[in-house]
Structure 1
Amino acid sequence: MEQASNSHTTPQLEMDKIPAHVAIIMDGNGRWATRQHLPRIAGHKAGMNTVKKIAIAASDLGIKVLTLYAFSTENWKRPESEVSYLMKLPIRFFNTFVPNLVKHNVRVMVMGHIDGLPAATQKAVKKAMADTAECDGMILNFALNYGGRDELVCAMKSIAQSVKDGEISPRQVDEQLIDQHLMTAPLGSASDPDLLIRTSGEERVSNFLLWQIAYSELVFVDQAWPDFDGDSLRAAISTFQHRHRRFGGLVNK
């Protein structure tokens, strides 16, 4: 899987081939801060500002869904002080940025175990979703307290319960039914990312959207998330547009 170019030249994109759903693993905040001789939380604060820039850039490009991996079910293992700071970031983000999202007709969606977040974070998340509910442009979808394997376990439990209750038979369990039980189900036909981007040079998916990225194009960039910008996004999309997606079949090139 090739890495996207970090060239300073703004790539020309084919606007009729913009990916409908882009997912991003926002990696490298801590390492960025360390290189700047700053505490890790400074990297997370810088990363929050990048989210603001990329959300608007993605909306302007015509992307329909932007899913951002904000906090995983495994991130609770981090130092308590860092987790506490990370839990306050959504509050600061939504309190300051929701009016701008409304201005750009962007709707906030959050997937993951929201009920496992601190009360103040839950309140900010739910208010942001309510305040942007009437927006019908891009969906800015945050994965908060989310894990791909956990999502699949929850889906399987729900389906198993339906089978046990006699609501469905085992023969009815197919890909479409599983899709309907995943946290991305509200995204409908755009539930599977066309493009998955990971920043900071790491080349793994880290338990993110394991079912949904079966046929996504994966693009890895060397930049840490705080250094990622609109041109970086365009470069990743340009890489995507030069790929030949065959979905397991054969397509004439």
Structure 2
Amino acid sequence: MDLMMRERQLARLRYYKERLEMTYKDISEKSGVPESTVKKVLTGATKNPRPRTFYEIEEALGIKHVLEEIAAESPNLRMQYGYGETDGSSALDTIDYERANDGELTLDDYYALPDDRRVELIDGVFYDMASPTSTHQMIIASLLRQIGNYIDKNKGKCVTFVSPMDVQLDRDKKTMLEPDLFVVCDRDKITEHFIFGAPDFIIEVVSPSSRLNDYVLKLWKYANSGVREYWIIDYKKDLVRTFYFDAEDMDPVDYTLKDDIPVRIYDGKLTLNLSGIQTD
């Protein structure tokens, strides 16, 4: 199994584990795979797991059932894994499916898209971006104001950005992202049209079509590209999941929207609060 295919399989397994709220122990008991092995596979510690182990974990998670259940709500999942047909409106309908499925798309394909197509390019694959909701925009506007005020007050060197702003995360030709909100402290990474390299702090606000990417694929990308801190705001669940990749223990810390949430790249001196956002 090549590296790209293995990472895609792992991304799927991690997403279903998160969706079903199953522990490593739960998966072990249903699959018969030792709990320590399940954990090593899903965290990526085991670099070349046996195909049989993948199959047994997939069976324990009920992969086929879950795929059918969420295919209707996630256009990205339909396009990425072949569930259902597109209606001709997707960015993927304008490109070579064989190259897309093989992860061979590049920035040349990205820049060749029509101006009204909003996608992200991740490891040679396009992912359509849904239009943001009003709640999504209110969350981003509030956070942008709070972070910007702190930087201005302290005469900081960091700069805040919001989507649409391209981020060439890996400095290669196979990934270009548009995080919802991010902070860049190294101004040498800032060019006129895109950010060249990893931001210090990224926030993504979850939508139904972005859930898989925000919780799994982007988490993996950000953790391995030099991003220092990553927040996932899942406002329908009243959840803010935070990751601080500079720490030895990179386990997530969860908060609600009403909490004062410390920004750890600023040693907690800046806290963000979304209690004023109406999410119902």
Band the TM-score falls in, shorter-chain normalisation: under 0.3
Name which structure has the greater RCO, CA cutoff 8 Å, separation 6+: 1
Question: TM-score if structure 1 supplies the norm length?
Answer: 0.27
